[in-house]
Amino acid sequence: MPTVVGNVDYQTFRRQLGRIDQLLDQGGVENRFVLLSMSDWLKQKVDPALNIDIKQQLHFQQHSRRALRCNLARTLLGESHRGFSARLADSPMLQKFCLLDTLGVIRVPGKSTMQRYATWLPAAAMREVINPLLQQAGVQAGQLQRAPMELAQPLDLETVFIDTTCVKANIHFPVDWVLLRDGTRTLMKAVILIRAQGLKHRMDEPEQFVREMNQLSIAMTMTRRKANGKRARKKVLRQMKRMVRRVQEHAQRHRELLAQEWRQTQWTEKEAQQVLARIDRVLELLPWARKQAHERIIGERPVKSTDKLLSLYETDVRVIVRGKADAEVEFGNTLYLAENRQGVIVDYHLWRESAPVDSKMVAESLKRMMEITGKGALPQVQCVAADRGFDSAKTRNSLDSEGIYNGICPRSPAALKQRLQEEEFVACQRRRSQTEARIGIFKNQFLGRPLQAKGFEHRELAVAWGVLTHNLWVIARMPLREEAATEPQAA
């Protein structure tokens, strides 16, 4: 590694990567990740009875280690797959961390390989990588002859602070008639690809349909400036609906043509299936979008939030009423986070469907945290603090039955006034306010705004990688036992 001086930020980041490299070994993260990757890889083999060459296993293990380190570095830097690949090619420090510092030619993974690395393990298996890290960091120095991570203070797993937030999806504002425009563009672009391969059915040029739909979209936007805007909106929407029906018919005919004669094209079977899947997804959802626009604009009838289609490309997005000044309503998925006093995320959960009320999340979270602490191996959770949204009779009874101190802010003003006389409750509520900042750091630095992952499974996996990277980043900044012992002497 070259010696670089004169840049404090570079030196800080270099020390962080060095410390994270140590934690991957001390916390058993790398070994656990490779074992889970090997297990998942062997299950995906077509013939499990087939003997696998040792060379193939070693090659896969090497790629598993690179996948872990590339994902950690990319998440820590907040880079895209393409951007991180270019940055990795130009940085000896990142090449060393990602195990690419070989003599001679250095082969840097491209953006497609980076994308495969991002989905190397499923989200459920990632939790089995995160929990052992917390267990090793929570070991007291006196419990073993030598604590694995040699931290000056082990992780405090007795007190947790919980809150929820919204992970926004990367979609535009879900206007009803805009969904019709999106469907037209997607279908006609797919038709253009098919016709470029020589498979044609009688129709006008696909670009003409896109132009006409854009003109109708402009006309719909201008209706708000007219005196009889409501009637004009209904008229334009009827024209859009007729246009969408024609587009669906042309797309369906080209879809059937491609399915029958894809061998005559220059595409492989997978490439043809990709285009077919794109058409099928939009053809399936367009009738729903057309009906929804008819109900809301022409029928002037409200549609339930559970029945709304918010995007043709992200069907697992939910309407989340936050009631905040800058976002009364958000579109995405509810994320539950629990952190300890040192800022380490000890539990998380991303909801696919509409999340239950906050008060119903506490019991499930305690069960997941019990898997981390085990039976007597680590201190159990002794205190839970949260805002008043988590308060309910069921939550209070659940905490009392487990012998856990209730640091949740009560809904009743009278009960809150009474509890403010307790020093421990006041300390919990004062510390709980920092959880809002922790959520902001996690979402902005480790997830990105908006989160670029497409599909709920990929968003859930991105959250898991964000939690793992965040926890390594926090633990890497914690003082070591040797450093704490030398501080008084230096003073």
181/275 Cα distance (integer angstroms): 19
Domain assignment present for residue 3? The answer is no
187 and 300, same structural domain?
A: yes
For 438-477, the DSSP string reads HHHHIIIIII-SS----SHHHHHHHHHHHHHHHHHHHHHT
Give residue-wise pLDDT tens across range 119-166: 999 999 999 999 888 888 876 544 544 456 778 888 888 899 999 999
* In contact, 168 and 284? CB cutoff 8 Å: no
Which among 196, 191, 236, 228 is positioned nearest to 209, based on CA atoms?
191
467 and 323, same structural domain?
A: yes
pTM value is 0.89
372 and 255, same structural domain?
A: no
Domain assignment present for residue 274? The answer is yes
361 and 471, same structural domain?
A: yes
181 and 81, same structural domain?
A: no
For 286-327, the DSSP string reads HHHHHHHHIIIIIS-----GGG----SS-TT-EEEE---SS-
Domain assignment present for residue 386? The answer is yes
Domain assignment present for residue 460? The answer is yes
pLDDT value, residue 50? 60
Q: Tell me the residue range of the domain where 404 lies.
A: 129-171+316-482
Per-residue pLDDT of the chain (491 residues; tens, 9 = 90+): 777 777 888 899 999 999 999 999 888 899 999 999 998 888 876 555 566 778 888 989 999 999 999 999 999 999 999 999 999 999 999 999 999 887 678 889 999 999 999 999 999 999 999 988 888 887 654 454 445 677 888 888 889 999 999 999 888 888 999 999 999 999 999 999 999 999 998 999 999 999 999 999 999 999 888 888 889 999 999 999 999 999 999 999 999 999 999 999 999 999 999 999 999 999 999 999 999 999 999 999 998 888 889 999 998 888 888 777 667 788 899 999 999 999 999 999 999 988 888 778 888 888 888 888 765 556 788 899 999 989 988 888 888 888 899 999 999 999 999 999 999 999 999 999 899 999 999 999 999 878 888 889 999 999 999 999 999 999 999 888 766 555 555 54
29 and 115, same structural domain?
A: yes
469 and 320, same structural domain?
A: yes
Backbone angles phi, psi at 90, to 5 degrees: -110, 0
Domain assignment present for residue 207? The answer is yes
Backbone angles phi, psi at 85, to 5 degrees: -60, -40
The number of folded domains in the chain is 3
* In contact, 333 and 453? CB cutoff 8 Å: no
Domain assignment present for residue 462? The answer is yes
User: CA torsion sign, 21 to 25 to 30 to 34?
Assistant: positive
Q: For the chain, what is the largest distance between any 2 Cα atoms, rounded to a whole number of angstroms? A: 86
118/203 Cα distance (integer angstroms): 41
Amino acid at 73: A
pLDDT value, residue 369? 87
Amino acid at 201: H
75 and 181, same structural domain?
A: no
